Amino acid sequence: LAGTHVVVSAGGTREPIDAVRVIANRSSGKQGYAIAAEAAARGAQVTLVSTVELPVPAGVVVRAVETAAQMQAALTELAPHAQVVVMAAAVADFRPVAAATGKLKKDQGVPQIVLEPTPDILAGLGATKPAGQVLVGFAAETSDLLANAQGKLERKRLDLVVANDVSAPGVGFQHDTN
């Protein structure tokens, strides 16, 4: 992969509810970091857009982000210049419309949290993919694995999709079997 710029995303985005709480998912980032490490070991110039703090693989440049909007901004900047984009991150599908500026207190009662969709980063990358770029997506599914992965491949204009049955024992988030 010498001379190839590879952009990899890793981890799960965290969408603030208040100053201390977030909506998140179970993504550890291990898979994205492993992909980044392998691409770098094969000679690629690798940029890793990550929401987690794991040991940085040798030769990899990390761009730290937290939210879906921050990840979208980083990938919108980096992806057009990459030959390969691997979207291994698990982006939250929803975020609070408005996050509280301070910590919500239990004695104030149960808050009403109104959600809105986050940007579909992968669909955006597929829609603006430069000619010749390879775009890889991931489908973490709990049912209809192949049909859902195939649908994602087609809808989001991917070149490759990795289908993970995260409901199977020992597979999915935080496991080494993917």
For residue 145, with 0-12 CB atoms within 10 Å meaning exposed, 13-18 middle and 19 or more buried, which class applies? middle
Q: Please say if 25 is a catalytic residue.
A: yes
The 10 Å Cβ neighbour count of residue 122 is 24
Instruction: Name the strand (E) or helix (H) holding 69.
Output: helix 68-78
Separation between Cα atoms, residue 102 and residue 104, nearest integer Å:
6
Residue 138 is which amino acid? F
Which entry of 25, 148, 164, 178 is annotated as an active-site residue?
A: 25
- Give the separation between CA 124 and CA 25, rounded to whole angstroms: 21
Strand segments, DSSP code E, in 1-123 are: 5-10, 15-16, 22-23, 45-50, 60-64, 84-87, 94-96, 115-117
Tell me how far apart the 2 most distant CA atoms of the chain are, in Å. 58
* Residues labelled catalytic: 25
